[in-house]
Amino acid sequence: MTDRKQKRPFRRGGGRPFDKGAPHGPKPARHDRDRAADGPAILYGWHTVTLALQNRARKIRRLLLTENAARRLAEENIKARITPEIVRPTEIDRLLGPDAVHQGLFAEADPLPSPDIETLAAEGIVLVLDQITDPHNVGAILRSAAAFAVNAIVTTARHSPEATGVLAKSASGALELVPLVTVQNLARALTRLNERGFLTIGLDSEGAEDLSRIALRAPLALVLGAEGKGLRQLTRQTCSHLARLDMPGSIKSLNVSNAAVLALYVGASRLGLMG
């Protein structure tokens, strides 16, 4: 959980992500959540690309591999699905920049669809992100969400990073595992979750209660705000509860991605989802 007063401070198992009554597969996306502003989703790195290759919902348009990466794919029996271009590592460096850790894999792909919030099953845990704009943080949150079998992440169409490039690499394949639900108005989305029986808890350094002491129940929506400014006022007003994360040390605020992990551990433990 970030301190608003400080300047710095293949979903698999564990339940179904969508209601049985919903049509097979998610509704068409209103927004392409992993398309860059001027092109397709850019995916690079071993986990990011290999999980995309194994996700039949992901349409791969172009695949660049180094000889070593192609050999490793063959050894691990991962199908390329399209004919790859075998290139030198410097060619991928040229496309991404010299600092990108691509491990010899680069792909261009179509975006995954953004499900409608009405198709989310009223069970388990969802995460709601209130204008978190740093792609490293959002990617790390996605990775943690996959680890805790989160049903979906709800985010805004504006003031959120595109699910491509750095975010996709930071997510380490979790883009293929956790649905991203994009909404135009977060307060309305939270209101709809409240109406559908979700317990919506906003994480706030000034929350009246410690998260570990609240009587949690499923379905649970944990709401996180951007570092520095935290939750917006209307978001705070729409949540069922505001909760803080009490810690014994001198530093009382956490990076938002770390706060997400801690909140997910508390939530999953209290809901009996840990195994």
- Identify which has the larger pLDDT, 136 or 17: 136
State residue 38's pLDDT score.
54
Strand partners, 243: 203, 209
Contact 42, 168 (CB under 8 A): yes
195-235 pLDDT per residue, tens: 999 999 999 988 989 999 999 999 999 999 998 889 999 99
Contact between 130 and 2 under an 8 Å Cβ cutoff? The reply is no
pLDDT value of residue 7: 37
- Average pLDDT estimate for 150-175: 95
Check whether 12 has a pLDDT greater than 80: no
Alpha carbon of residue 3 to chain centroid? 22
Burial string for 99-108 (b: 16+ CB within 10 Å, else e) reads ebebbbbbbb
User: Hey, which CATH number is domain 117-270, 1.10.357.10, 1.10.10.10, 3.40.1280.10, 1.10.760.10?
Assistant: 3.40.1280.10
Q: Give the span between the Cα atoms of 47 and 171, in whole angstroms.
A: 9
Strands 180-183, 152-156: pairing kind: parallel
Q: What is the pLDDT of residue 228?
A: 82
pLDDT band at 18 (very low <50, low <70, confident <90, very high): very low
Q: Which of 23-32, 122-131, 147-156, 181-190 has the lowest mean pLDDT?
A: 23-32
Q: How many residues does the chain have?
A: 275
- CATH of 41-109, picked from 3.30.70, 3.30.1330, 3.30.420, 2.30.29, is 3.30.1330
Contacts with 257 (C-beta within 8 Å, 6 or more apart), sequence order: 136, 137, 140, 141, 144
What residues pair up with 203 in beta bridges, in sequence order?
A: 243
Residue position matching structure tokens 């996605």: 142
The pTM for the full model equals 0.85
d(CA 130, CA 91): 37
Is pLDDT at 20 greater than 50 in this prediction?
no
CATH 3.30.1330 residue spans of the chain: 41-109
Query: pLDDT by residue (tens digit) across 45-79?
Result: 999 999 999 999 999 999 999 999 999 999 999 99
Q: What is the pLDDT of residue 275?
A: 75
| Host H or E run for residue 141 | helix 135-147
* pLDDT over 60 at 170, yes or no: yes
